[in-house]
Amino acid sequence: MTKYLSFAFFFLLVSCSGQTKLGEPEVNPTEIQSNFMNWWKYHNENIMLSRDFTPIDENGTVIEKSAFLKTLMDGKTIPIRLKAADTIFQYQLFKLLPNSDANIKATIAQVSFDENDNFNQEGKSFPKFNFTDLEGNIISNESMKGKIMVVKCWFIHCAVCVKEIPSLNEMVNQYKDRKDIVFVSLAEDTPEQLKVFLAKKPLSYAVVPNMKKYMNEVLQLNAFPTHFIVNKDGNIVKVLANDHALKVALEIESRK
């Protein structure tokens, strides 16, 4: 239900005023396609498809987020943020030009496919679990009732998973006084492998070993790292691909 609130609110404003008031694109949609690195730098720094935003099609019409992501999956459009206040996020689709780098098409299609898959999990119950971390602590559906659970899914030979650890540790420290927020990491690796690794590169999460089968068969993950935010009712709020998106989403959830 919550993922539709921003859309419903915006739709109400549009209905009351009789028209949609849109800002100009914050970058030139044609020039940003001049080469892959220009586009990717812009997209990576300014577009966050996991967040709640107002989705707008090529004609300037507000649409459902699911329709927006599915259109992107065709690899024929790119999203551009429209100029607005810092707290307002309006993303509009613009046509990918025929002479644009083919890597842009392939990348936006894959990124939007993953984001659509993540979006479809929002609102669902997090699968049943009964984990034991490296310290022998039990983490279960029952023990997490009334708490926000932040879950990192990873393995020690995943370079991106390892690179984000310092950033995640900073985030854990930020919420150290929030007893209602619990940080759990599910790792493919054995206890022995993890203990050697964590001695050199500590992770401020509860670390659960031997989770490959659970992540593959129950969570059905195909990308690492993957982060989940599970609310106090045990429902998935967000599924996220990186630490930056996680921090943004957790800040919003922590205020509820």
pLDDT band at residue 92, thresholds of 50, 70 and 90?
Answer: very high
**Amino acid 217: pLDDT:** 96
Tokens representing residue 23 in the block: 């800002």
CB–CB of 207/183 below 8 Å? no
pLDDT tens string 170-193: 999 999 999 999 999 999 999 999
Name which of 24, 8, 123, 126 is nearest 65 in CA terms. 8
Find the mean pLDDT for residues 58-72: 97
**Amino acid 182: pLDDT:** 98
Is 4 a residue whose pLDDT tops 90? Answer: no
Name which of 14, 27, 18, 4 is nearest 62 in CA terms. 14
Q: Match 């940080």 to its residue by tokens.
A: 183
Is 226 a residue whose pLDDT tops 50? Answer: yes
Rounded to an integer, what distance in angstroms lies between the CA atom of residue 85 and that of residue 101? Answer: 31
Q: Report how far apart the first and last C-alpha atoms of the chain are (Å, whole number).
A: 14
pLDDT band at residue 12, thresholds of 50, 70 and 90?
Answer: very low
Is 31 a residue whose pLDDT tops 60? Answer: yes
pTM, rounded to two decimals: 0.89
CB–CB of 93/25 below 8 Å? no
Query: In terms of CATH, what superfamily is 130-254?
Result: Glutaredoxin (3.40.30.10)
Rounded to an integer, what distance in angstroms lies between the CA atom of residue 177 and that of residue 180? Answer: 9
pLDDT tens string 236-250: 999 999 999 999 999
Q: What are the boundaries of each domain within the chain?
A: 2-119, 130-254
pLDDT band at residue 21, thresholds of 50, 70 and 90?
Answer: confident
Q: Over the chain, what is the mean pLDDT?
A: 93
**Amino acid 2: pLDDT:** 43
Q: Does an H or E element contain 207, and which?
A: strand 206-208
Find the mean pLDDT for residues 79-96: 96
**3-state SS, residue 256:** coil
DSSP classification of residue 189: S
Burial of 115 (0-12, 13-18, 19+ CB in 10 A): buried
Please enumerate, as own/partner, the contacts of 37-40 that have beta carbons within 8 Å and a separation of 24 or more: 39/78, 39/100, 39/101, 39/104, 40/104, 40/107
**Amino acid 22: pLDDT:** 86
Query: Which ranges of the chain does DSSP label H, i.e. alpha helix?
Result: 5-17, 36-46, 65-72, 102-119, 159-163, 165-174, 191-200, 212-213, 243-254
CB–CB of 231/253 below 8 Å? yes
Is 10 a residue whose pLDDT tops 80? Answer: no
Find the mean pLDDT for residues 212-235: 96
Is 69 a residue whose pLDDT tops 70? Answer: yes
